[in-house]
Amino acid sequence: MTYDIAIIGGGIVGAATFYKLQQKFPNQTIVLLEKMDQLADHQTGHNSGVIHSGLYYKPGSLKAKNCIQGRHELVAFAKEHGIKHDICGKVVVATDESELANMERIYNIGLANEIEGLAKLTAEEVKQHEPFVECIAGLWVPCTGIIDFRGATAKMVELALAMNSESKLLLKHEVLGIQKHAEYSSIETNKGTIDARYLVFCAGLQADRLAKKDGVELKEKVVGFRGDYYELTDQAKHKIKNLIYPVPNPDFPFLGVHFTRMTDGEIECGPNAVFTFKREGYGKTDFSFRDTWDALTYKGTWKLFFQNMSFGINEYRRAFSKRLFLKTLQRMVPSLTMDDIKPGRAGVRALLLREDGDTRDDFRIEYHGNSIHVLNAPSPAATASLAIGGYIADAVEQQFGLQH
């Protein structure tokens, strides 16, 4: 059988795309291919579980628009389908005078993005939300929350499959190659060949490689950054109520180490951000020759290293030193001790790195023949997933003329 659409990648963006496409085109047959033995097994299942507000993103950018629209859709979806979530709000705190100008800048971005309920807080007002935080000022972002992203991913796929009995989820199907024909494409997998008229790639950490297999001429490469988390021990959990973030450094492409209460009640602290020698490696010493070679023979990687040298060295030292990690946490919650934290899990973020080393690229979706490629979807892509899925469903209608 030739499917109408094949989606490659079973993270939350692939799942949301499946759900939105099947909703829009109930009579079209769709197949979702995932190489792992379960959905959401890489970035989606290893992220911090935060529903982002849209506070940090350039007004008018795809990140800003899709994050805010996606957040509203995701919360409605979670309520309707019983996905564990909590719109608990977060505080962003400044611990040093030097951070105040940047906090003001973020506040103004938040106003431009119409973040509901955004408010400035004094140090005393921060303590009403988070009694153990020591700071000089803060922001209150009431529409930020937490969610079980794995649960949301599974539910989206379950609902999509229920809409058309001929649509399929194929786990343990790794895409090895793409053959183009006049009216359709053949997807070569480790379990045989699957034919489809149109292809949508939502491949995260492998987005650049699959784009090249599909014949896209792509100068940039995906470079992975591992983030390690610590967890609070039971004796310290009372010190964190919900979510606490530092003011992010505008020169550094990540949001900084923060505190997150998860939907299961655990409190995570992290992540740091270190270059990983394996795109899908979650251990500190995981190594892949191919991934390392790809990253270290790419000039964008070295540009990023040189532009962020001192940050990078500090992040690496923190990755191997519990004491240094604790010191970072103590900037916001000084009463934490070595006994209050224990090593947790890790995640890897995919960044489509420009040749000049710039990581602050917007979401990037490109068209190639009968294919759509989600080339860059870092945070807040999980929050934005339903909006991205809707965007792709509209693109399929416009680009390929698919009928409802």
pLDDT in tens, 327-380: 999 999 999 999 999 999 999 999 999 999 988 779 999 999 999 999 999 999
181 — phi, psi (to 5°)? -125, 175
DSSP 247: P
**pTM for the whole thing?**
0.97
Q: How far is 65 from 123, CA to CA, in rounded Å?
A: 31
Pairing assessment for the beta strands 221-232 and 192-201 based on DSSP bridges: unpaired
Q: Looking at residue 311, what is its pLDDT?
A: 84
Q: How far is 226 from 300, CA to CA, in rounded Å?
A: 18
What are the residue ranges of helices labelled H in 185-250? 207-213
Q: Are 289 and 277 in contact (CB under 8 A)?
A: no
Instruction: Show the tokens assigned to 231.
Output: 């967890």
Q: Looking at residue 10, what is its pLDDT?
A: 98
Q: Looking at residue 103, what is its pLDDT?
A: 98
> What are the beta bridge partners of residue 244?
91, 259
Radius of gyration for the chain, computed over Cα atoms and rounded to the nearest angstrom: 21
Q: Looking at residue 404, what is its pLDDT?
A: 81
Q: Looking at residue 169, what is its pLDDT?
A: 98
Which amino acid appears at position 132 of this protein? F
Q: What confidence tens digit (pLDDT) does each residue in 284-300 have? A: 999 999 999 999 999 99
Instruction: Show the tokens assigned to 178.
Output: 């793409």
Phi-psi region of 393 (alpha: psi -120 to 50; beta: other; left: phi over 0): alpha
**Four-point Cα dihedral 377, 379, 380, 382, nearest 10:** 70
Q: How far is 369 from 381, CA to CA, in rounded Å?
A: 25
The parts of the chain modelled with pLDDT lower than 50 are none
Q: Looking at residue 353, what is its pLDDT?
A: 93
Q: How far is 55 from 108, CA to CA, in rounded Å?
A: 9
Instruction: Show the tokens assigned to 125.
Output: 């007002």
Q: Which residues contact 122 (CB under 8 A, 6 or more apart)?
A: 137, 138
Give per-residue burial for 110-124: e unless 16+ CB within 10 Å, then b: beebebeebeebeee
Q: Looking at residue 394, what is its pLDDT?
A: 97
Q: Looking at residue 400, what is its pLDDT?
A: 95
Q: How far is 291 from 279, CA to CA, in rounded Å?
A: 6
Q: How far is 307 from 310, CA to CA, in rounded Å?
A: 9
Q: Which domains does the chain have, with CATH numbers?
A: 2-45+150-220+361-400 (3.50.50.60), 87-143+221-353 (3.30.9.10)
